[in-house]
Structure 1
């Protein structure tokens, strides 16, 4: 059993985790642990840009109101105000450290427009490679002063008296390591990998939600899952994401007959919020029709979107025809581990940043290009809190590694099939109830506590997928309304008043906000 100590332990290597390290590595001994390679994160895959009110024609209040509108009246106004105001300063910080945002011949930033934004305020780098540019810049800076451990997976957090003391991990050889730290930052991303069609990196399987839940942290809004409308389809399989910026530059969605899909569906038509567009495409596909993204009116497509152009070429799509076959795919989780303004969770010494966190800024449906922004803004908040807290001591005692038994798991494809069928874009009580029961049937079998003798990364991944799938399905069953990324066809929008059901919380061995016990035994 190896034992390591660090002032700050960061779990995850996306933009949020790297930004925390960027801000702390000159002050503290920082360690980053990542499940696969550091490059494997949703942040690095991000084609869309980062939103900020950087022009005189724009104002943070306009960005604020666009964010609230997209969030379908479910945002925390206080946290959203913090996001858009601090976001401008953090984007300036990215520029100062050398992120190569696209500029015109006069040296001015080129700004794009995406869904639900009323003005051009999206900064891009490399056309459609913004995430790659930001993450690469941060990694180059951080790697000089930070210990980065790849292909090692956190199994569980170590918690004593509701205080996080560190985490324990396994690597591909099954070797265990205990990391002791007075400040643990969870930056493990979302749960797109619970679905068969997703824009997410293959490593993103709900690990952060699951380990936080097992540790006893509070989670919220897990039912709100955003599906990106435009995944490229080839031979019936999704091959990658087509950025919303393509529609911002004039592309439109059309049916097989060439009719505009979004006319009359929403006032913003093809730039409507993602949940609206995804449902419109989903319904057409359910009727047996293919939906296309018509890019004929997008000027300089190859130069503006080089990554997407290469993806189309690789999959045999003829760009000269100007029609890209698309379908929705799981993209982003609005819910997660509950935090305050400083990124602090309900467990002492445990912070959560990025997609794994529930800050309340996204409401029921995230505004395009606010995800990278959230990552850097709340990374700064968490880093400042850690610096303020000083170097409190963590436990040096190696704990007994108790965890859930690793037998009788379904396959990853079985889990994905259940999520797609019952907890997807359209949900019903009749589908969610058996889904919850299916997850519980496995969790009950493996819930006896036992010391791990042998456990693999694959075992832990499937356990985390089962746990996160159960959490999302249970939350979706209890929210008896349609709002944003959560759509119940048995509670359709047209048949309900716009009442606001309160936030549904999960906490192990505690209670929902509706006084329904949350115990898996």
Structure 2
């Protein structure tokens, strides 16, 4: 049994930023199911948004974020993000994080979809995530212990119901217990729920499933963003083509050269992601092909070296300039319900980054706000945890789980069913079909199952099914179309739903709420609770 002051589950940008900013007298344990440099953050291409241009302002960034969120983003959360963004990015640059600069020494700022100004910082052209993660890992202080290849399969509580630790399995299926006064979920999203995804292979919805099993509230699970332009060859996704490529002038066309965005949205290729993804999905469903025409992008290989390398590896000619694309699962707007600090409804338990649902992204995330969220809210949570008095965790109480889970279907089967029934376009009929399919595997009973006897892979499949079920239940309940949630039977966006939120919690299952969600309130801190903007 290992003990610490803070345990962080996950090792992406939010986890490392949090760990870097915690007070040095805190003993911090990072637990990751793979290794430190593996995950979504490292794969990020586009960049990080911040109002640093002389003509830009944090308020303009705020406005763009609120618009992209389709009127249900939390205004306070967005305010914190956009106001603190310039300072956090300047701080990182001063510490040595290598952002691309212009000849005059100022940041080289690009533009991406739904941004009204050039405000995207990048590193190595299209390798921002790799450079950022390398910097964050290299600057971890000595009070951090990293446990790699440990898959957390259970959150544990004390006799007061406070989260006080985790149980994990190593590669040899040995079970380990870690205890701490504060447990932080930073496991990212749920990309592997779908067959085409920009996400790393390890992103199987663990955080949402673990939180749900522990009794924490989840929210907004119906909102899953599909990135419009995954490189798509022979029926398979071969990686992301950054939105920054369209920001540099690339256009979307079909095999006849017709522009796909004509008459669809005033911003054309730089429309919000859900609109572009839906358009490409419609075109492909009609039997046509979609291409990103990069012939208008000057000096493409130098601006986008990683994309260029990937295209050449798959036999695509950069000179000919037509890259086949299709949408792929990219980002989970919902997740573990938190306030604007990172506290959840479960005492002692916190969430940060994509695993958290703090209202920041609403129904659709604005491009390049994801790494920014990790950096701003990772630091913000660190400041909160560092301000708390030192306490020892109480002894855990073992929860009796007698049921053994059914054998879960293979991952590809789960993905195929989810894409067909709960993908970009949904309906009551397709959602009910998916829920019936889940019932045949008794997914509702996974919370009662003992996962300690399973292999890591078997546990991942259980988490994948649990998270997919949560997405489907929430999508079934939301009877409108908004942002990334599109239903053919409810095609309109309804004002009545702008103040409502679907909350899911074990035992209560789910509920629709338009009131603040009360979470743990600690003396001397801003009271928890979240309201719609």
Interval containing the TM-score (normalised by the shorter chain):
over 0.9
CA RMSD of aligned residues (A): 1.6
CA distance in 1, matches of 2:305, 2:203: 25
Write the mapping of 1:335-346 to structure 2, written as runs, cut at 5 A: 335-346=334-345
Alignment deviations for residues 461-491 of structure 1 (CA, whole Å, 9 cap, x no partner): 0110110000000000000100001000111
Write the mapping of 1:181-192 to structure 2, written as runs, cut at 5 A: 181-192=180-191
CA distance in 1, matches of 2:234, 2:277: 20
CA distance in 2, matches of 1:97, 1:402: 48
What is the match of residue 253 of structure 1?
Answer: 252
**Does 2:110 match 1:119?**
no
Q: Taking structure 1 as reference, are residues 450 and 71 closer, same or farther at Cα in structure 2, changes over 3 Å only?
A: closer
CA distance in 1, matches of 2:289, 2:149: 39
Alignment deviations for residues 36-91 of structure 1 (CA, whole Å, 9 cap, x no partner): 12222111100010000012211000000000111111100111101101122211
Structure 1 contact 408–446 (Cα < 8 Å) conserved: no
C-alpha displacement of 1:32: 0.4
C-alpha displacement of 1:452: 5.5
What is the match of residue 164 of structure 2?
Answer: 165
Deviates more, 1:466-475 or 1:389-398: 389-398
Deviates more, 1:454-463 or 1:444-453: 444-453
C-alpha displacement of 1:105: 1.6
Structure 2 contact 480–494 (Cα < 8 Å) conserved: no
What is the match of residue 327 of structure 1?
Answer: 326
Alignment deviations for residues 234-259 of structure 1 (CA, whole Å, 9 cap, x no partner): 12211000000000000000011101
C-alpha displacement of 1:507: 0.6
Structure 2 contact 157–397 (Cα < 8 Å) conserved: no
What is the match of residue 178 of structure 1?
Answer: 177
CA distance in 1, matches of 2:125, 2:304: 5
CA distance in 2, matches of 1:72, 1:451: 40
Structure 2 contact 406–442 (Cα < 8 Å) conserved: no
Structure 1 contact 405–446 (Cα < 8 Å) conserved: no
C-alpha displacement of 1:436: 1.4
User: What 5-or-longer segments of structure 2 have no aligned partner?
Assistant: 514-533
CA distance in 1, matches of 2:446, 2:467: 15
CA distance in 2, matches of 1:460, 1:431: 27
CA distance in 2, matches of 1:448, 1:331: 27
Write the mapping of 1:167-316 to structure 2, written as runs, cut at 5 A: 167-316=166-315
What is the match of residue 390 of structure 1?
Answer: 389
Structure 2 contact 25–143 (Cα < 8 Å) conserved: no
**Does 2:91 match 1:93?**
yes
Q: Taking structure 1 as reference, are residues 267 and 307 closer, same or farther at Cα in structure 2, changes over 3 Å only?
A: same
TM-score by length of 1: 0.95
CA distance in 2, matches of 1:403, 1:97: 51
What is the match of residue 132 of structure 1?
Answer: 130
CA distance in 2, matches of 1:87, 1:264: 34
What is the match of residue 374 of structure 1?
Answer: 373
C-alpha displacement of 1:361: 0.8
CA distance in 1, matches of 2:225, 2:23: 33
What is the match of residue 42 of structure 1?
Answer: 40
What is the match of residue 419 of structure 1?
Answer: 418
What is the match of residue 471 of structure 1?
Answer: 470
**Does 2:487 match 1:500?**
no
CA distance in 2, matches of 1:245, 1:236: 24
TM-score by length of 2: 0.93
Secondary structure in structure 1 of the residue aligned to 2:308: helix
What is the match of residue 516 of structure 2?
Answer: none
C-alpha displacement of 1:395: 2.4
CA distance in 2, matches of 1:452, 1:242: 37
CA distance in 1, matches of 2:485, 2:444: 29
- Greater than 6 Å deviation, 4+ residue runs: none
C-alpha displacement of 1:514: 3.5
Alignment deviations for residues 189-235 of structure 1 (CA, whole Å, 9 cap, x no partner): 00011000000000001000000000000010000010000000112
Q: Taking structure 1 as reference, are residues 92 and 455 closer, same or farther at Cα in structure 2, changes over 3 Å only?
A: same
Secondary structure in structure 1 of the residue aligned to 2:62: helix
What is the match of residue 519 of structure 1?
Answer: none
Secondary structure in structure 2 of the residue aligned to 1:418: helix
Q: How many residue pairs end up in the alignment? A: 511
CA distance in 2, matches of 1:7, 1:20: 13
What is the match of residue 318 of structure 1?
Answer: 317
Alignment deviations for residues 299-320 of structure 1 (CA, whole Å, 9 cap, x no partner): 1100000000000000100111
Structure 1 contact 406–459 (Cα < 8 Å) conserved: no
